[in-house]
Structure 1
Amino acid sequence: MSSLLTNSSAMTALQTLRSVSSQLSTTQSRISTGQRVATAADNAAYWSIATSMRADNAALSAVSDSLGLSAATVDTEYTALNKVLGDSNSGLTKLQSLLVEAKTAGIDRSKIQSEITQIQQDMKNVASAATFNGVNWLSTNASTPTTVNLVSSFSRVGSTPTTSSITVTVANYSLYTSSTGGILDTVSGSASVDSLNIGALTDSAADQTILDGYIAKVTAAIGTVSSGAANLGAIKNRISNNSEFVKSLMDSVDRGIGQLVDADMNQESTRLAALQVQQQLGVQALSIANNNSQSILSLFR
């Protein structure tokens, strides 16, 4: 039945055109943003998960930055400790060989002491210079913390976040302290490694015993400093491994978020072309339906 008051064909065509226009708007939005789920209205569950994972990734990014700062600090202290250990020409290694040389009968120990003094000053300067971002574990004072926690990871299970850290005991690496309690300035017997002086010693048995004590003291210091350098080397490797893992984890989280909310551009481009054709056909169908009344009018002519 044809009616002038109710154009059912036009109403159907209009509803179809509205539906197509709505789908076309959604598809255009996905193409412009690159996201299938851009707001909570698109998919509340996936949007919530993606939002939480983005927050976790931001925390992981902060951990990555913290690991970078920690790596630079540890590397600075590690390099300085190795410098203090020295080799045949410097540091504790050279100091030990000079003290052994001083055991030689009739040798001029005052000249050897001149070289020892230079080594002592050089080691102290190295320890003082081992500073990164205001942090120095080799030359400490009363304000230096006894332990330092280096943030190494972040994870979240449910709503419970967890951060892990690498604990560093500063006393294991402190060579000099303001209270003379460091590895090299702790006085035992009559002197410390930092203050020993052989310039006035002779070939007497008593002085030879003192020299033996100095050699033992330096040898012990070499062992302690070597142990500290080994520990820092292990921490350095751990930080490097954690840093690589955190970066890989961030990439994995990004891929996971993409699986949840990113639009398939091949699919969306195909849908866009189809919807544009449907929209054109809908406009044409609505135009035909609106012309039906004109056909009824012609019956009365």
Structure 2
Amino acid sequence: MAFSVNTNAGAMAALQSLNATNRTMETTQSRITTGLNVASTKDDSAKYTVAQTLRGDLGKLNAVTSSLNNAKSVTDVAIAGAEQISDLVNQMKSKALEASDAGLDQESRKAISNDLLALKKQINTVIEGSSFNGTNLLKGTPGTPAGTDADGDPVAAVPGTGGKVSALQSISDGSTLTVNNQGLSTAAAEAFGAAGTDTLITNLQGDDVEGDPDAGTPVAAKGSFAADELLGKLDTFFEEVKTSLSDLGAGSRQIEGQLSFNSNLSDVVTTGIGNLVDADLAKESANLQALQVQQQLGVQALSIANQSPQTLLSLFR
């Protein structure tokens, strides 16, 4: 090999090797810092684009989960209210049955009537308070679905006047999960009168009078007869409360099932993204150790190669 001070081939080769080692070390350090084997489309376009699509799906799943959690909260509040109403109606039924005793004195009936008024007020308070984030599934009119009448003629759906809750159910077809308004405020008003209208209960305090709603001037039932009438209305209301509890329970179980599925699906998608782009840190750590040794050797080799032209000076002594 010719000796030249103009061209140092050994130094150039050592420099190229050192540069290659430095580039590989930068890549390894980036993987260790980010924890990603594919952090950019420059690393691997195919894996990066697939991972980005999955990240988009994961974001959609998070939105669906948030929607379901809101629906679950609304439904759980309604269930708590309906269960409380069920207990209160049972107490009212017991009081009304007690007041239906024809041998009961007026003072006792008055005390029972006051208890019933307090229970009625409590039920109305529960209905009003069973709201979450502005949505109340107990207050309002439930509405009716489309169907046919007794003659087989189609009947259009009648929308309810109260709130209902809908939640996203899937990221693919935009389907929703709906829990309808139960209309217990309307049913309660039919059972024992709207708030401020206590005649059905206060009629228990009078002397026994058998009502006649079909008379020219309708006669209201009073005393034990009023208690019997109220008891019948309470039985009807209690059946509606039971139906509401069943509907709300079914809706809650459906929401919880969808939440569980979404949680599992999110875990699977997250794992899939990791399999595509996550770095093996144990492997990268081992590579970094080897590259650091290579870098030090490369610096030494370049230093030796840079010193080789100095041997030419000995030829001129």
Q: Same fold (TM over 0.5)?
A: yes
| Distance change in 2, residues 1:61/1:283 (3 Å) | same
For structure 1, the residue ranges without an aligned partner over 5 or more in a row are 156-160, 177-181
Kindly indicate whether structure 1 or structure 2 has the higher relative contact order, using CA contacts under 8 Å at least 6 residues apart. 1
Q: Where does 1:58-207 land on structure 2 (aligned, <5 Å)? A: 58-86=59-87, 91-107=88-104, 108=106, 109-140=109-140, 147-151=164-168, 153-155=169-171, 161-170=172-181, 173-176=182-185, 182-186=186-190, 192=193, 195=198, 196-197=200-201, 198-199=203-204, 200=206, 202=208, 204=210, 207=221
User: Aligned partners of 1:100 and 1:143: how far apart in 2?
Assistant: 33
One-letter amino acid matched to 2:140 = T
2:260 to 233, 244, 248: 244
1:233 to 232, 235, 249: 249
Q: Where does 1:209-288 land on structure 2 (aligned, <5 Å)? A: 212-288=228-304
* 1:226 to partner: Cα distance: 0.8
The TM-score with structure 2 as length reference comes to: 0.78
The TM-score with structure 1 as length reference comes to: 0.81
User: Aligned partners of 2:170 and 2:81: how far apart in 1?
Assistant: 30
Worse-superposed segment, 134-143 or 268-277: 134-143
User: Aligned partners of 1:227 and 1:269: how far apart in 2?
Assistant: 63
* 1:204 to partner: Cα distance: 4.6
8 Å Cα contact 2:100/2:225 also seen in 1:
no
Aligned to 2:217: none
8 Å Cα contact 1:193/1:214 also seen in 2:
no
User: Aligned partners of 2:288 and 2:43: how far apart in 1?
Assistant: 18
Residue 49 of structure 2 corresponds to residue 52 of structure 1: no
RMSD value, Cα:
2.8
User: Aligned partners of 2:160 and 2:86: how far apart in 1?
Assistant: 26
| Distance change in 2, residues 1:205/1:247 (3 Å) | closer
One-letter amino acid matched to 1:52 = T
- Percent of aligned pairs with the same amino acid: 34
User: Aligned partners of 1:294 and 1:270: how far apart in 2?
Assistant: 38
For structure 2, the residue ranges without an aligned partner over 5 or more in a row are 142-158, 213-220
| Distance change in 2, residues 1:241/1:95 (3 Å) | same
User: Aligned partners of 1:148 and 1:204: how far apart in 2?
Assistant: 44
| Distance change in 2, residues 1:262/1:274 (3 Å) | same
* 1:247 to partner: Cα distance: 2.9
| Distance change in 2, residues 1:201/1:96 (3 Å) | farther
One-letter amino acid matched to 2:85 = V
Name the SS for the 2:101 alignment partner.
Answer: coil
Once the two structures are superposed, what CA deviation does each residue of 1:84-139 show, in whole Å capped at 9, x if it has no partner? 111xxxx2112222333333223244443222222211211111111222222222
Aligned to 1:158: none
User: Aligned partners of 1:289 and 1:94: how far apart in 2?
Assistant: 100
One-letter amino acid matched to 1:105 = A
Name the SS for the 1:242 alignment partner.
Answer: helix
User: Aligned partners of 1:37 and 1:131: how far apart in 2?
Assistant: 47
| Distance change in 2, residues 1:169/1:201 (3 Å) | farther
| Distance change in 2, residues 1:34/1:204 (3 Å) | closer
* 1:213 to partner: Cα distance: 4.2
Once the two structures are superposed, what CA deviation does each residue of 1:250-287 show, in whole Å capped at 9, x if it has no partner? 33322222222221111111111111111122222222
One-letter amino acid matched to 2:180 = T
One-letter amino acid matched to 2:273 = I
Once the two structures are superposed, what CA deviation does each residue of 1:149-179 show, in whole Å capped at 9, x if it has no partner? 123x443xxxxx4444321221xx1222xxx
